[in-house]
Structure 1
Amino acid sequence: PATGVLDEGQTRVVVHFEPGLPLADLKARLIVTRLSNLGDVRSVMPAPEDLETAADPDRIELVLLTDVDADTIRAAVNVDGVRDIELAG
């Protein structure tokens, strides 16, 4: 995971997918879209379009600038195939 310092109002969201999840890139795009509705997505690693060929395709990490609570963020990223959700910030 990235170790950069978060600015005020930013939350690091790390989503772990089930290993070998089919269509993980589409799930990642859905998560980015849902989080975009909650605030400003500042970064996405790997980029959703690169998820299929990424070295670690079972996870995606985002930095979100938002004022919503952790439960709202968790609900937005909890799609089929998500194994674990980590929030920091």
Structure 2
Amino acid sequence: MRGSMGRVGSCYDNAVAESFFATLKAEIGTRVWATRADARRAVFAYLAYYNRNRLHSTLSHRTPYEARVCYGQTTALAA
């Protein structure tokens, strides 16, 4: 991973990504896994939970998956 490449105060900063990684660290912890494969499994399991089960207040208390499906339906109907 690379650190932020933006300047301080830039409107193109990575605040969303930083918020996600802070949540990831808080929810799965910062422990040391025995192998890289174990760490990868833990992160991917968390991503599955995050996208399919974890409710987000900014998405009207829906999961990202539900928000994406609803967005696709509303845009298809509007066209």
* TM-score normalised by L of structure 2: 0.33
Q: Highest relative contact order (Cα 8 Å, sep 6+), 1 or 2?
A: 1
Q: Which has the higher strand share?
A: 1
Q: Which has the higher helix share?
A: 2
